[in-house]
Amino acid sequence: MRLDKMISSTGIASRSQISSAVRAGRVLVDGAVVKKADMQVDPDKVSVIYCGTPVCYRKYTYIMLNKPEGYVSATEDGKLPTVIELLPAELQKIGLFPCGRLDKNTLGLMLLSNDGDTSHRLLAPKSHVAKAYAFRLKFPLSDADIAQLESGVDIGGYVTAPCCVERTDEREGRITLTEGKYHQIKLMMEAVHNQVTYLERVTFGPLVLDTALKRGEWRYLSDDEIALLLKK
């Protein structure tokens, strides 16, 4: 693999930044200053230092994004901005896609990756990966509504699986689902004659939304988060 491709795939720098760093003698391979950005390396064996930072190569990239309103969970859309456009240019070229969908006006935790197998596993219905959402409603939510939501409601011919609902205020709370039908929470709340006015995903499987990320901001997953995500 080309050295500049290996380094840029980690998102640390763009290929042109890497070329400049190589020219400035700031890239080391196995302890020696590199002369050519396109030299061939074995990414699993080589030790690379880019501008003083060790490069940790991964075959796949995993990113946590705090999705803002107005962005669609897709890689391309003819009209609306996509969550991919919130990433720097070099990360828009490495095949990242959103792992699952959030509605255009839903906020919060979005996993972006180019690891198709893991994404497939996390989203497969049989995996029952838990996702928690903070919600706000137009009307108060009664104990009877919660009991109905938790045991399953009919959303257009499909009865939802058991879930967990916690109320934190008469119109606010958190719902944890282990499935993901289109517009599921909005439809579930409509089934109990209510309406969602705010929805934010706060967990996705083992991942918890990093509160240091402002809307539209992203960060790489930590090694611990990746290990939890890849655990079967």
Question: Which member of 21, 111, 132, 185 binds ligand URA (CB under 6 A)?
Answer: 185
What's the min distance (Å) between Cβ of 177 and ligand URA?
A: 7
Which one of 103, 169, 210, 224 is the catalytic residue?
A: 103
Active site residue 42: no
Q: Which CB contacts under 8 angstroms, 24+ apart, belong to 38-43?
A: 38/2, 38/3, 38/4, 39/2, 39/3, 40/1, 40/2, 40/3, 41/1, 41/2, 41/3, 41/6, 42/1, 43/1, 43/6
> Residue 53: which residues within 8 A CB-CB, separation 6 or more?
12
3: left (phi over 0), alpha (psi -120 to 50) or beta: alpha
Could you tell me which stretch among 28-36, 85-93, 180-188, 216-224 binds ligand URA (CB under 6 A)?
180-188
Element (DSSP H or E) covering residue 3: helix 3-8
3-state helix, strand, coil in the chain (%, to 5): 25, 30, 45
- Minimum distance from CB of 203 to ligand URA (Å)? 13
The window from 49-57, 143-151, 177-185, 206-214 that contacts ligand URA (CB under 6 A) reads 177-185
- Min dist CB 131 to ligand URA, Å, is 8
Assess 160 for contact with ligand URA (CB under 6 A): no
- Interface stretch with ligand URA, choices 7-15, 63-71, 98-106, 224-232 (CB under 6 A): 98-106
Residue of 121, 136, 183, 215 that binds ligand URA (CB under 6 A): 183
Which residues form the interface with ligand URA (CB under 6 A)?
Answer: 102-103, 106, 183-186, 199
